Amino acid sequence: MWQYTAPILYALFVWWFGTGVVLLLDNLPRRFLAPTLGAASAVAVAALVLLAITADDTTVAAAFVAFTCGVLVWSWMELTFLTGAVTGPRQHGCVPGCTGIKHFGHALAAIAYHELAIAAGGLAVYLATAGGSNRVGFWTYLVLWVMRQSAKLNLHFGVRNLSEEFLPPRLRYMTSYFRRRPLNLLFPLSVSAATVVAVLLVREIGAVRTSAFDVAGYTLVATLLWLAILEHWLLVLPLPTSALWRWSLRGAARAHEGEDDAPGPLRSAVRLGDG
């Protein structure tokens, strides 16, 4: 039984604690942003090297290492966005009333550079593991990538909980691309598709031919996918999402005491004057 519970508990911890750490780092005062990004970049490079080293290692330990490395590379991508270092050519919000294709184009322009960076990160993870038997790191990154894209689209088309408190002051203008509504047509489709994939992964875990490595790898990735599905439901259910990471948000609030919402040197001034 431990071969199943250990990966589940580990993925739960990495998801909860890792998210909290990213929130803390993203909300550090401006003077700490450059050193934080430098350290995170070094960690991400080390993670890519470890992925390459463990690409042919099919031990249970290697599955855990690859999963952790995939999460670390993804966390690096998250940091580059939420610190404001890599976003898009449009660095301000939309005026009220901007809708339709024009509004979607503005939203895409606000994150375009980061979308390219995520794709580059995915390519790096793929190349680090290509040809090897241990692809846990790549599948981990892919799950995070696809589910985050889904979450972004759902936020744009409209959900109940926008989770604005997770954005640092320098990126609060991003909320102008979100829409608050009970539900949107994409939500049931995205959740249903993800649930089907998660169920198939669970079935694969229980297959007779599955090795100890496969059990660990599939369980880690499946747990992460179920957690991403949970995050989607938290977008529409009347629940206090931020309660899970209150400890990190309190630290973020203290870090920004005395600061206004204007971006620092990594970001140009917020302008809400054009659509």
- Read off the pLDDT of residues 79-138 as tens digits, 9 standing for 90 and up: 999 999 999 999 999 888 888 999 999 999 999 999 999 999 999 999 999 999 999 999
For the residues of 182-198, what is the DSSP string, one character each? S--THHHHHHHHHHHHH
Question: What radius of gyration do the chain's Cα atoms show?
Answer: 19
Strand segments (E) across the chain: none
Tell me the per-residue pLDDT of 140-153, one tens digit each, with 9 for 90 and over. 999 999 999 999 99
Read off the tokens for 237.
Answer: 């259910």
159 beta partners:
180
Residue 209: φ, ψ to 5°: -80, -5
CA distances from 200 to 195, 197, 203, 255 (A): 9, 5, 5, 43
Tell me the per-residue pLDDT of 74-93, one tens digit each, with 9 for 90 and over. 999 999 999 999 999 999 99
DSSP SS3 for 269 = coil
Tell me the per-residue pLDDT of 9-39, one tens digit each, with 9 for 90 and over. 999 999 999 988 988 888 788 888 899 999 9
Read off the tokens for 130.
Answer: 């290509």
